[in-house]
């Protein structure tokens, strides 16, 4: 079944710009399959699993990003969650941060192909870029353990900025393990959303990192 048909079945009915998301995300997944022939972007290429684990997972917590003027996707990889979120939230600016040149070039080709005026790609290490740029939200999937993420993203937490991290079911354990690091840096970690992926493909937890006032 083509990616668009899978996404039409799977994406929530109340998703903003749902049809645009289906068309854009399906094309994005097609481009990943093509690029995978030359270098490894993702191991997940089964259409339904890719639709769930990449696109559905990226957009289910879209409300948490609503109203942010600028979001940075740190270590964007093949473009998740940044590109699906940008399709759903066209009023929000997204910067995809990807230090691997090959992946950054791939992301640039996707942004051109999908004609996404609200997305830019920066071939830079997230922690270096965030030292000199201000955004409302930093997000990341498949990021380092939370104790390491605390040191990576602490400099970005200026002026009320937040970090929203996509984590697995054991996020509470990670939060506890990160407590010494977060206390030292005056950060607070808390779970703000939890959801189940379709087809029993796992539990996702969104962890918010903020500076303690």
Predicted TM-score (pTM) of this structure: 0.96
What is the share, in percent, of the chain residues with pLDDT greater than 70?
Answer: 99
Q: Where are the domains of the chain?
A: 57-211
| pLDDT tens for each residue of 127-141 | 999 999 999 999 999
Which residues, other chains included, contact 92 with Cβ-Cβ below 8 Å and sequence gap of 6+? Answer: 65, 68, 69, 70, 71, 85, 86, 118
Is 161 in contact with 135 (CB distance < 8 Å)?
A: yes
Q: Does pLDDT of 38 surpass 90?
A: no
| pLDDT tens for each residue of 84-115 | 999 999 999 999 999 999 999 999 999 999 99
Q: Does pLDDT of 144 surpass 90?
A: no
Measured between alpha carbons, how far is 115 from 212 in angstroms, rounded to an integer?
A: 39
Q: Does pLDDT of 213 surpass 80?
A: no
Strand partners, 25: none
pLDDT tier, 159 (very low <50, low <70, confident <90, very high otherwise): confident
Is 3 in contact with 47 (CB distance < 8 Å)?
A: yes
55 by Cβ neighbours in 10 Å (0-12 / 13-18 / 19+) ranks as: buried
Strand partners, 165: 140, 207
| pLDDT tens for each residue of 48-81 | 999 999 999 999 999 999 999 999 999 999 999 9
DSSP assignment letter at 51 = I
| pLDDT tens for each residue of 180-201 | 999 999 999 999 999 999 999 9
Location of structure tokens 């602490």: 154
Q: In the CATH hierarchy, which top-level class contains the domain 57-211? A: alpha beta
């Amino acid at each position: 079944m083509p990616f668009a048909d899978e996404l039409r079945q799977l994406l929530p009915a109340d998703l903003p710009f749902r049809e645009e998301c289906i068309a854009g995300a399906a094309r994005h997944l097609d481009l990943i399959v093509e690029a995978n022939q030359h270098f490894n972007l993702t191991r997940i290429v089964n259409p339904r699993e890719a639709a769930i684990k990449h696109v559905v997972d990226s957009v289910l917590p879209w409300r948490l990003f609503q109203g942010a003027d600028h979001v940075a996707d740190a270590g964007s990889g093949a473009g998740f969650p940044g590109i699906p979120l940008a399709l759903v939230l066209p009023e929000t600016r997204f910067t995809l941060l990807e230090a691997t040149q090959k992946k950054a070039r791939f992301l640039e080709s996707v942004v051109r192909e999908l004609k996404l005026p609200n997305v830019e790609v920066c071939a830079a290490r997230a922690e270096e870029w965030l030292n000199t740029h201000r955004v409302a939200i930093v997000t990341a999937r498949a990021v380092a353990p939370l104790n390491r993420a605390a040191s990576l993203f602490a400099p970005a937490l200026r002026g009320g900025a937040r970090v929203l991290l996509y984590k697995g079911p054991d996020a509470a354990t990670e939060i506890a393990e990160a407590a010494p690091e977060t206390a030292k840096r005056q950060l607070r970690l808390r779970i703000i959303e939890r959801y189940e992926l379709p087809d029993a493909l796992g539990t996702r937890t969104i962890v918010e990192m903020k500076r303690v006032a």
